[in-house]
Amino acid sequence: ARSLAAEGAEGLEPVMLDVTRAEDIERVTRALADEGGLYGLVNNAGIYLGGALELMKPAEIRATFEVNVVGLLLLTRACLPMLRESGGRIVNISSISGLVAMPGASVYAASKHAVEAATTSLRNELAPFGVRVVAVEPGAIDTEIWRKGRERDKARQAREDEEVEALYRPLTRLVEKLNARPRGIPPEAVAEVVSEALGAEDPHNHYLVGRDAKSIALFGRLPEGVRDWVVRKKVWG
């Protein structure tokens, strides 16, 4: 927050907000209302905890949905009176995983599919009030998520049941390879799209960001049987 205040544009006022804490949501929305309301809400809070479902802990599954889905919905709900008053805009940061789900990302993809569903529903639910709701669907982005993924991979190796881990080793190795050598676009590329989604007079309903996202979206249009064959060949050989 301090670095954002130091490096940000004039008028930027960072505040600490944990979207899983009701008291944080109440505090921030009350402050916004006191300062004149809200035009744009960008739901960017999210975590990625990947891996085969059988290797994930219940707490990891719950945390993914608490941040990526429940937190998004509760914060949006709290902001709706201000957004209705301003005829504002909601931009939900989804993912290409919200459109095409790959093995090793079942929990994360499920959460982003939920974000897509919420976006579609709210787009029509809030249309009578002039509130536009947009989904931004990036592919790989060059952020700290990859370093965190590598650290989590190491921690997981130290604690997993060796017999179960061995069953999923081809998938685990593929996930580790992706974490070790990410090829993401700069975060600024996504920020530019978010800015467009907020400022355009007539925004698109969806914004795919990155070549990989656009390629995977095209892949998702193939017949399901063909997609499954390609994916299984890639993971399991």
Average pLDDT for the chain: 91
CB 227 within 8 A of CB 99: no
H/E segment holding residue 90: strand 89-93
Tokens coding 199: 């400022």
Tokens coding 187: 């975060």
Of residues 16 and 5, more confidence is placed in 16
Task: Report the alpha-carbon angle 139-39-81, nearest 5.
Answer: 110
CB 208 within 8 A of CB 214: yes
**The CA-based dihedral angle spanning residues 107, 111, 117, 123, taken in that order and rounded to the nearest 10 degrees:** -160
What pLDDT is recorded for position 39? 97
CA–CA separation, 177 and 10 (whole Å): 41
Average pLDDT over residues 208-216: 95
CA–CA separation, 9 and 218 (whole Å): 37
What pLDDT is recorded for position 160? 63
pLDDT over threshold 70, residue 156: no
What pLDDT is recorded for position 182? 64
- C-alpha distances in Å from residue 18, one per residue of 103, 203, 236: 29, 28, 39
CA–CA separation, 21 and 30 (whole Å): 14
Of residues 60 and 4, more confidence is placed in 60
Three-state DSSP at 104 gives coil
Residue type, 38: L
Q: Which residues are catalytic, by number?
A: 108
Point out which residues pair with 91 in neighbouring strands.
Answer: 42, 134
Q: Provide φ and ψ at 99, rounded to 5°.
A: -110, -40
pLDDT over threshold 90, residue 26: yes
pTM for the full predicted model? 0.92
Q: Which of 58-62, 98-102, 133-137, 150-154 shows the lowest mean pLDDT across its residues? A: 150-154
Of residues 158 and 223, more confidence is placed in 223
Residue type, 44: N
Q: Classify the phi-psi angles of 51: left when phi > 0, otherwise alpha if psi is within -120 to 50, otherwise beta.
A: left
Q: How many CB atoms lie within 10 A of CB 140?
A: 18
Confidence of residue 225 (pLDDT cuts 50, 70, 90): very high
What pLDDT is recorded for position 113? 98
Confidence of residue 183 (pLDDT cuts 50, 70, 90): confident
CA–CA separation, 227 and 111 (whole Å): 21
pLDDT over threshold 80, residue 9: no
